[in-house]
Structure 1
Amino acid sequence: MYLLLIEDNPDLIENLCEFFESMGHAVDIAYNGLTGLGFALENSYDVIVLDLMLPGMDGLEVCSRLRREGHGTPVLMLTARDTLNNKLEGFASGADDYLVKPFALPELEARLNALSRRGRSEITRRRLIVGDLQFDPDTLRVERDGRRIELAPIPLKILALLMRRSPGVVRRVEIEREIWGDDPPDSDTLRAHLHALRTAIDRNFKPALLHTIRGMGYQLTGPDGR
């Protein structure tokens, strides 16, 4: 795992780093809340270990800021406070787990492994998949059969809509409303964007995934009809 440790106790940091590195994990360290928030926003970690009491910005505020920014990395909160209200405050701020000091290092690692697996599962669920075509809404990366596909913004939006609705048929008017709202351009404009999308995802691959349902709309389906 790639961990971010936000903690201001140097002795605890030393123990945690020695343990995690001996177990093959990589660790970044921040000694205050502001630095930790910056690290979390700039890098991609498997799990964040976050102390509650921190200089500069406490752990509750760090976690709240991360969630307001749409940051979904799992957070395990460390604290010496063990009342129910303290735990509820931590979860309300967006923490995924809560561990009271002192704790056993193997238990901490087990909890972090569980959070990391859960985080990877959430990422997989967010990814849109139809046949061998994949689209990651977070990174806007499109791949088919493992090959990267570049799309302009409008074909990309059309693809996202068709993948979300697959294997359903999406009517032309729904696509126009999704892209242009209540002021759609002439019909040739949509046809041109659909042609660009079809060329990108189907020209060099088999079978074709994008289908025109005459008189109804468009459908994106895999070879098994899903």
Structure 2
Amino acid sequence: MRLLVIEDNRSLVANLFDYFEARGHTLDAAPDGVTGLHLASCHHYDAIVLDWMLPRMNGPEVLYKLRNEHGSDVPVIMLTARDELPDKIVGFRSGADDYLTKPFALPELEVRLEALLARASGQRARRVLEVADLRLDLGTLEATRGGQSLHLYPACRKLLEVLMLASPAAVTRERLEYALWGDSPPDGDMLRSHIYELRRSVDGPFETKLIHTLPRTGYRIGLPYASAADGR
């Protein structure tokens, strides 16, 4: 399990690292909300542990931006001393999957994270992603557009999944590279080659193009902005 801990309490972060790394997990940490949002949007994590009171950007704002601007569905558990019902409602409405108040027991956090990952895995196995007339069944791995079956290599299928999960938001090049190669991307611009192959399958035979390049940012999948606004 790869975790991102967004927390400014150094002692708590150290305790989390000691506990979870001893159990074979990998952790990254961010001491403030802006750094946490950047890491969460550029890298893949199995789950995020998010504090509420953070420097630069608070937890609910980080979570709202992660869900609505970056299109991420990574499981997030809020870890906070705010234990009033109105606070919990704000947390869940911002996009939290679970809410654990301080002080807490580390084994409880662990089992809650395991439950979140199990539930997320089951949802992904059953989910069918749809963007315009493009469909991707995450259970069968079948991709179709306009009812026509698409032939996709595994790398292209993974890119398509990441782009469709984020749609209509853009996905950075760094996040796409991590989805394919983790922390060891190959030399050269192999991502561009995979995007080219993906375009050939998804857009080649069709008049309306769904895959768009955002210079200096990355890529997005969806209807062209003008067409989407016009309802076409």
Q: What is the TM-score of this pair, normalised by structure 2? A: 0.60
Other-structure match for 2:79: 78
Q: Distance in 2 between matches of 1:82 and 1:26?
A: 28
What is the one-letter code of the residue matched to 1:99?
L
CA contact (8 A) 2:47 2:74 kept: yes
CA distance change for structure 1 residues 57 and 118 in 2, over 3 Å: closer, same or farther?
A: same
Query: By how many angstroms is 1:90 displaced?
Result: 0.4
Q: 1:85 to 1:156 in 2, by over 3 A?
A: farther
Gaps of 5+ in 1: 142-147, 159-180, 184-226
Asked whether the 8 Å contact 2:127–2:138 carries over to 1, the reply is no
1:153 aligns with 2:203: yes
Q: What is the root-mean-square deviation in Å for CA atoms of aligned residues?
A: 3.1
Aligned residue type for 1:17: F
The answer to whether the aligner puts 1:125 opposite 2:92 as a matched pair is no
**1:92 CA displacement:** 0.9
Distance 1:139 1:29 in 2: 23
The 1:119/1:156 distance shift into structure 2, 3 A limit, reads farther
Residues 71-220 of structure 1 correspond to what in structure 2 (within 5 A)?
71-127=72-128, 128-129=136-137, 134-135=142-143, 137-139=160-162, 151-155=201-205
Check 1:20–1:153 CA distance in 2 against 1; reply closer, same or farther (3 A cut): same
Larger radius of gyration: 1
Contact 2:127 2:139 in 1 (8 A): no
Give a deviation string over 1:146-170, Cα, whole Å, max 9, x none. Answer: xx98514144899xxxxxxxxxxxx
- Number of residue pairs aligned between Structure 1 and Structure 2: 157
Report the identity percentage.
50
Q: Is the 8 A contact 2:125 2:138 kept in 1?
A: no
Provide the residue aligned with 1:62 in structure 2.
Answer: 62
Question: Distance between the aligned counterparts of 1:80 and 1:22, measured in 2?
Answer: 26
- For the 8 Å contact 1:46–1:119, the answer to whether it is kept is no
Cα distance change, pair 119–4 in 1 and its aligned pair in 2 (3 A): same
How far does residue 115 in structure 1 lie from its aligned partner after superposition?
Answer: 0.9
Unmatched tracts of structure 2, length 5 or more: 129-135, 144-156, 165-193, 209-229
Tell me the SS of whatever aligns to 2:161: coil
Q: What per-residue deviation string (whole Å, max 9, x for no partner) do you get for residues 177-217 of structure 1? A: xxxx999xxxxxxxxxxxxxxxxxxxxxxxxxxxxxxxxxx
Counterpart residue type for residue 27 of structure 1 = L
TM-score by length of structure 1 reads: 0.61
Secondary structure of 2:142's counterpart equals strand
Structure 1 residue ranges, 4+ long, deviating more than 4 angstroms after superposition: 129-133, 154-158
Measured after TM superposition, the shift of residue 140 of structure 1 is 6.4
